[in-house]
Structures are given as structure tokens and as C-alpha cells.
Chain A
Amino acid sequence: QVQLVESGGGLVKPGGSLRLSCAASGFTFSDYYMSWIRQAPGKGLEWVSYISSSGTTVYYADSVKGRFTISRDNAKNSLYLQLSSLRAEDTAVYYCARETAYSYGPWGEGTLVTVSS
């Protein structure tokens, strides 16, 4: 079945960096656009970034532009998010999600990133 599994979250100090990964299985990963979406504790969903199936087109939310980098390795069925210059407000559960028919489904279970000194 279709599955997305995130990893790489953890505790990091302000200004630090982290690399998140999302392992995809059960579908032809290279056919789909993918995104990262985050949710701060007790808050709503916030779209972070999006990458085309080939990796040639990317978009970012203004809140992370210039600090986060999305990428993918279709040979490894993996999606990545490089987080840099992290701030306290970046603390959130980060989900990867597959884009299908102008919507997101399925979603992974998420990985928690905590930015704190």
C-alpha cells in the first residue's frame, strides 16, 4: 500500500540546521509532485514547500524562503527538506504528502522538529 515515512526530526538550537527525509513506497514516486506541510503545536496546517515530479520546479512559503531547501532522489524514492537558520517558530511536526488531483493524500505520520536553546 502507499506509504510515506518521515525521519530526521529532533531538538536543535536556534540558528542550527537539520535534514528531514521522507521514504516513499507503494507507488511510482517519480510520477508525483510532493510537498512538506507543517503543524506547530496546537496550531493549524501550514504548507512549507512543493517539488515537481522531476525536481525542476520548486515553491516555498514566504516564511521559509531562503532558509529551507526541498529536494528529491527519484532513484531512492525519497523526499528531503534541508532546514537552516532555524527559529523557535519553526518548531512543528513536519509531514510529507503526495500531491494527487490538486490535493494531498496520503500523508506521512510526521516528524517533530523542536527549535530551542
Chain B
Amino acid sequence: QSVLTQPPSVSAAPGQKVTISCSGSSSNIGNNYVSWYQQLPGTAPKLLIYENNKRPSGIPDRFSGSKSGTSATLDITGLQTGDEADYYCGTWDSSLSAWVFGGGTNLTVL
């Protein structure tokens, strides 16, 4: 059971928008920055969003992040088949003194 809760799967058609949620508590999301990671099949995770809503260079603006209270969301617009991957949220948990990840969300682009 992960400390951060994500839906196991989401799906949408090409060109559409999808939102992936990440729910936590005051000891993690509520008081720390959230980051998001994309893991394409058979590859290592890649940083998509840091400090809640910032994109590293090279990440398209189709990917955006936000945070409100103890929850965070990742939005992906203009879906492409190449976006099919697992997506993870992560943050520091001040009570556990540990970094925590969500269980991951598998995105299918129908």
C-alpha cells in the first residue's frame, strides 16, 4: 500500500486530455514539493514535473502539474500514442523521513 494514492489506470483517445491524481497527507504533499515521472515500457523513469508545476528543459508544455492542499495532479493534453507509459508522483514525507512514490498510473491512449 503506497503512501501516495494514484488511480491504477487511465485512458483516453489521441488528441484528448487526461488527468492523473495523486493524493497524500499533510506530512508529504501538503508540505513538500511534488514531482512526476514518466516510465515508458522497458526504460528507466524520466522526470516530467518538479516543484509541483515546473517542467525540465525538453519536456513539452502538453504536460503540466498542479498541487492543492494534500493532492496533486498531472495533466496531459493533446495525447499521443507515444505517451503510453506508467506515471508516478513522488515527494518527501517529513514524518517518515523518507521519499515516497505513488503506486503508479498506467496510461493507455486508445
A45 CB, nearest partner CB in chain B, Å: 4
Query: Are A45 and B97 closer than 8 Å at their CB atoms?
Result: no
| In the assembled complex, B50 has its CB within 8 A of some CB on chain A | yes
Q: For this complex, into which size category does the number of interface residues on chain A fall? A: 20 to 34
Residues from chain B with a CB closer than 8 A to the CB of A117 are none
The docked-state distance in angstroms from the alpha carbon of A108 to that of B62 is 25
Interface class of chain B by DSSP: strand
- Give chain A residues whose Cβ lies under 8 Å from the Cβ of B91: 102
Contact, CB under 8 Å: A108 / B44: yes
- Residue in B closest to A48 when the chains form the complex, CB atoms: B99
A interface residue numbers (CB < 8 A to B): 35, 37, 44-47, 50, 59, 61-62, 95, 100-110
B contact residues vs A (CB 8 Å cutoff): 2, 32-33, 35, 37, 39, 43-47, 49-51, 54, 56, 86, 88, 90-92, 96-104
* 8 cross-chain pairs, A with B, having the tightest CB-CB distances, nearest first: A105-B47, A103-B35, A103-B50, A47-B99, A102-B33, A44-B104, A45-B101, A107-B44
